[in-house]
Chains A and B, each alone.
Chain A
Amino acid sequence: MAVKSAYIAKKSQKNQRGEGKSDETGDIFDREEEFQAYHDMLLIRRFEEKAGQLYGMGFIGGFCHLYIGQEAVVVGMQMALKPGDQVITSYRDHGHMLATGMDPKGVMAELTGRRGGYSKGKGGSMHMFSREKQFFGGHGIVGAQVPLGAGLAFANKYRGNDHVALTYFGEGASNQGQVYETFNMAALWKLPVIFIIENNRYAMGTAVTRSAAKSEELFNRGSVYGIPGEQVDGMDVRAVRAAGEKAVAHCRAGDGPYILEMMTYRYRGHSMSDPAKYRAKEEVQKMREESDPIEQVKKRLIETGAANEDELKKIDAEIRAIVMEAAEFAQSDPEPDPSELWTDIYVNA
């Protein structure tokens, strides 16, 4: 039985074109899938906690936006993809990178600005990429990745393959003008792009109800372009995968874009320097206690007898070791050679 997200009081919604039933969490995970989801979400959680700690110690500088609380969104969506599908997102991107299979060492070393980082230390937390994993960043300007993601989808269509581009953005970005320009063209040209609105309820310090008209229906924002949309319990990894599979099938069939509004929550501040005074501590605590995506899986595994505490502790220990290794690498790896200042500005023609 699924633990329902506490704040999604009413059933998940869909617009007239959405045909799914993402509210029912009817998509059952087998034991292996539950373990995978648990593992992948926990890796993100522990990685982000460690990143927060390294930030506190001064090893990570600048801006650092943690994904803690939102893990089910990327992990569930990734489970709906096949190799070659593309992913692009905003600056809250560490979870997406780990979910696509990027090496935690390379990600952490980029956070600390070291030469072994994915961008050789020149991109930082907000700007990392992996061609191999089809991860296209990591973009620091709110909303800018939305047309870029549609461009990835454009390339799929141009080449005549059936790959899908996942384009993530926050509910704050969903008010950006370029998002609607993109909705229009994506629908007009039937681009295979899934727009995933990660609605964590706060755009920095502004609650969604203070920034968005009809904020309870962001999934409906593409309806005038004929883009189907659904609201999904983004704290339940099974609901996410179920919705993701449907959207992916829609895109692969050549039926154009799809919008998924993931109802999620970030436990930490917008960035590391956010004291988060715009919301009540009780609200955060309630989400953690009643809707935590990782605890949901853990509870299912224990209650159904699919796993015992020892098995889960073993996974925990493995993940702690991976994260510790990443953190140690990220602290000991040298900074980029000064000559790197002048490289990668142009590709030699």
Chain B
Amino acid sequence: MPNILMPALSPTMEEGKLAKWLKQVGDNVKSGDVIAEIETDKATMEVEAVDEGKLTEILVPEGTENVKVNTPIAIILADGEAAPAAAPKPAAAKAEEKPAAAPQAEAKTEAPAAPAIATSTLKDTEVPEGTEMVHMTVREALRLAMSEEMRRDKSVFLMGEEVGQYQGAYKISQGMLDEFGPERVIDTPITEHGFTGIAVGAGFAGLKPIVEFMTFNFAMQAMDQIINSAAKTLYMAGGQMGCSIVFRGPNGAAARVGAQHSQDYAAWYSSVPGLKVVMPYSAADALGLMKAAIRDPNPVIFLENEILYGKSFDVPKVDDWIVPIGKAKVARPGKHVTIVSFGIGMTYALSAADKLAAEGIEAEVIDLRTIRPMDIATVVESVKKTNRCVTVEEAWPQCSVGTEIAAQLMTHAFDYLDAPVARVNGKDVPMPYAANLEKLALPSVDDVVQAVKSVLYV
């Protein structure tokens, strides 16, 4: 390649000034030699030779302004190489086709439509008529799920703060150290950023880590590893390498723990392509979804709630109970209004539905269960029947999950809505400590009842 072209020296440079020639016609040039100085919009840069040979011609004299990128500026010939024929030279002509380097398809091709996020091919476990129900807390369900999966697959392990000897800060992993040993139930130092990165690296290597955050508030320390490393690598690697990993722990407000320990992260994580986000309410869903999350080949954010840990539910007594990720559930059928919630929000939603029923209003309550990929079809189907929708969650209102549902309903059910979608959220304030203020900051059953009445115009 005898032609030296005006180089682009920054991602945005289109032209520059050829400030100075440091080599002259007749000079021998080695690769790495600085041959010229160029002024860009940002700085003066040196141009180094790539090829070796003799500088036989300078095509653009020094001091020339506005030299377009890829203009031939000089000719260097290697030993014994013949001077190229008269311009346009082949190399220059090639360079002038620079748009070929830019996306050829750019202007002409519209981005293809987004396919639906592939949900799990796992099926709901069948529950035969007359199946016995077991009473189980969410805590027991989570422990059972992890233990069953660790028995099933040796590449699954649990790591986090106090998961082993202390038996779990919230006793989720109680007894697991005894069963699986310290190689698979691993106590970490209080260094979320570091141990999350180690877990993701182990995931890249093919292991299936379960990372317990003592609360998701502390996962903010590890956000870079969760988003930049876990969520994006599969895409950046063209599908070659991703990680199967579960990040789990209590999320949202407990009681009286103040602003730094009370945030609900459902909306944050659910905005990230590459992550799946699960937030169960009942013990049956906690069990089935946790097993599905551990088997899922993608990073899954599993948002639990401290207040729900001790709450008991009926769980069908079947082998290998699985709840596929990405499916909402109609928790209570109704015809007048649709209430959509998830996680602890379901406690407000279901209590409100009870109260409303006493007034003759039949609310259909949908438990979203998975936030991403969101089963908006189930919500739309319900709203087509009820024509009204209220969303309920503890998180802040702006860009909340409720906001997303409202937007989706405008797109997919606009003509069916008889009232604007109403959102019931936590107040737009950091969580206060004082008991009375905290109560005011969180949603209440009455808030939900009020919102339902507002969309029903009663």
Q: Report if B310 contacts A (CB, 8 A).
A: no
Q: Report if B70 contacts A (CB, 8 A).
A: yes
Contact of B242 (CB < 8 Å), options: A148, A180, A342, A347: A347
Q: Which A-chain residue is minimally distant from B8 (CB atoms)?
A: A58
Interface pair A137/B233, CB less than 8 Å apart = yes
Interface pair A57/B7, CB less than 8 Å apart = yes
Residues A127 and B98 in contact in the complex (CB < 8 Å), given A158-B202, A345-B273, A348-B118: no
| Chain A positions within 8 Å of B9 at CB level | 56, 272-273
Contact of A58 (CB < 8 Å), options: B31, B70, B240, B273: B70
Contact of A349 (CB < 8 Å), options: B197, B199, B296: B296
Q: Report if A29 contacts B (CB, 8 A).
A: no
- Bound form: Cα–Cα A180–B228 in Å: 20
B-contact bits for A50-86, CB 8 A (1 contact / 0 none): 1011011111011100001000000000000000001
Contact of B235 (CB < 8 Å), options: A148, A345, A349: A345
| Chain A positions within 8 Å of B205 at CB level | 86, 136, 151-152, 154-156
Stretch in A3-11, A182-190, A209-217 touching the partner:
A182-190
Interface pair B225/A144, CB less than 8 Å apart = yes
Interface pair A341/B112, CB less than 8 Å apart = yes
Interface pair B109/A338, CB less than 8 Å apart = yes
Contact of B240 (CB < 8 Å), options: A61, A62, A131, A346: A131
| Residue from A57, A118, A276, A338 having most chain B Cβ neighbours under 10 A | A57
Interface pair A182/B207, CB less than 8 Å apart = no
Nearest CB of chain A from residue B193's CB, rounded to whole Å:
5
Interface pair A146/B103, CB less than 8 Å apart = no
B-contact bits for A105-128, CB 8 A (1 contact / 0 none): 000000010000111111100011
Q: Report if B415 contacts A (CB, 8 A).
A: no
Stretch in B119-127, B352-360, B402-410, B427-435 touching the partner:
B119-127
Q: Which B-chain residue is minimally distant from A61 (CB atoms)?
A: B11
Stretch in B39-47, B142-150, B327-335, B439-447 touching the partner:
B39-47
Q: List 14 A–B pairs whose Cβ atoms lie within 8 Å, in order of A's numbering.
A: A55-B8, A57-B95, A58-B69, A129-B241, A137-B233, A148-B229, A151-B205, A180-B194, A268-B48, A275-B43, A276-B46, A288-B32, A342-B115, A344-B239
A-contact bits for B175-216, CB 8 A (1 contact / 0 none): 000000001000011010111111111111111000000000
- Bound form: Cα–Cα A185–B197 in Å: 11
Q: Report if A181 contacts B (CB, 8 A).
A: yes
Interface pair A185/B50, CB less than 8 Å apart = no
- Bound form: Cα–Cα A160–B43 in Å: 53
Q: Report if A270 contacts B (CB, 8 A).
A: no
Interface pair B50/A155, CB less than 8 Å apart = no
Nearest CB of chain B from residue A88's CB, rounded to whole Å:
8
Interface pair B238/A349, CB less than 8 Å apart = no
Contact of B31 (CB < 8 Å), options: A49, A112, A119, A144: A49
Q: Report if B107 contacts A (CB, 8 A).
A: no
Q: Report if A149 contacts B (CB, 8 A).
A: yes
A-to-B contact residues, CB < 8 Å: 49-50, 52-53, 55-59, 61-63, 68, 86, 88, 112, 117-123, 127-131, 136-141, 144, 146-156, 158, 177-178, 180-182, 184-185, 188, 267-268, 272-273, 275-277, 288, 331, 335, 338-339, 341-349
Residues A137 and B237 in contact in the complex (CB < 8 Å), given A112-B101, A144-B197, A349-B119: yes
Q: Which A-chain residue is minimally distant from B120 (CB atoms)?
A: A349
| Chain B positions within 8 Å of A55 at CB level | 7-8
Interface pair B235/A147, CB less than 8 Å apart = no
Interface pair A177/B193, CB less than 8 Å apart = yes
Nearest CB of chain A from residue B241's CB, rounded to whole Å:
5
20 new A-B contacts, CB < 8 A, other than A178-B197, A338-B109, are: A49-B32, A56-B69, A88-B201, A120-B238, A123-B237, A129-B236, A131-B240, A147-B198, A148-B201, A151-B205, A153-B201, A154-B198, A155-B207, A158-B183, A185-B198, A331-B101, A344-B239, A346-B118, A346-B274, A349-B292
Interface pair A272/B198, CB less than 8 Å apart = no
Interface pair B183/A50, CB less than 8 Å apart = no
- Bound form: Cα–Cα A188–B153 in Å: 26
The 5 closest A-B pairs by CB, nearest first: A151-B201, A147-B197, A181-B194, A56-B7, A155-B205
Q: Report if B417 contacts A (CB, 8 A).
A: no
- Bound form: Cα–Cα A343–B234 in Å: 10
Residues A152 and B8 in contact in the complex (CB < 8 Å), given A182-B197, A349-B118: no
Contact of A144 (CB < 8 Å), options: B32, B228, B235: B228
Interface pair B274/A345, CB less than 8 Å apart = yes
Q: Which B-chain residue is minimally distant from A64 (CB atoms)?
A: B11
Q: Which B-chain residue is minimally distant from A59 (CB atoms)?
A: B101
- Bound form: Cα–Cα A128–B235 in Å: 10
**Residues of B within 8 Å of A, CB-based: how many?**
83
A-contact bits for B263-285, CB 8 A (1 contact / 0 none): 00000000001101000000000
| Chain A positions within 8 Å of B194 at CB level | 147, 150, 178, 180-182, 184-185
Contact of B45 (CB < 8 Å), options: A136, A153, A275: A275
Nearest CB of chain A from residue B32's CB, rounded to whole Å:
7
| Chain A positions within 8 Å of B244 at CB level | 347
| Chain B positions within 8 Å of A339 at CB level | 112
Q: Which A-chain residue is minimally distant from B240 (CB atoms)?
A: A129
| Chain A positions within 8 Å of B228 at CB level | 140-141, 144
Q: Which B-chain residue is minimally distant from A342 (CB atoms)?
A: B115
Interface pair B200/A151, CB less than 8 Å apart = yes
- Bound form: Cα–Cα A277–B43 in Å: 9
- Bound form: Cα–Cα A204–B391 in Å: 48
Interface pair B101/A141, CB less than 8 Å apart = no
Q: Report if B82 contacts A (CB, 8 A).
A: no
Q: Report if B85 contacts A (CB, 8 A).
A: no
Contact of B204 (CB < 8 Å), options: A63, A118, A148: A148
- Bound form: Cα–Cα A58–B195 in Å: 40
- Bound form: Cα–Cα A276–B47 in Å: 12
| Chain A positions within 8 Å of B47 at CB level | 56
- Bound form: Cα–Cα A131–B43 in Å: 40
Interface pair B50/A50, CB less than 8 Å apart = yes
Residues A141 and B224 in contact in the complex (CB < 8 Å), given A342-B114, A344-B235, A347-B242: yes
Q: Report if B111 contacts A (CB, 8 A).
A: yes
Q: Which B-chain residue is minimally distant from A182 (CB atoms)?
A: B194
Nearest CB of chain B from residue A153's CB, rounded to whole Å:
8
Interface pair B237/A127, CB less than 8 Å apart = yes
Q: Which B-chain residue is minimally distant from A349 (CB atoms)?
A: B120
Nearest CB of chain A from residue B370's CB, rounded to whole Å:
12
| Chain A positions within 8 Å of B40 at CB level | 273
Q: Report if B102 contacts A (CB, 8 A).
A: yes
| Chain A positions within 8 Å of B296 at CB level | 349
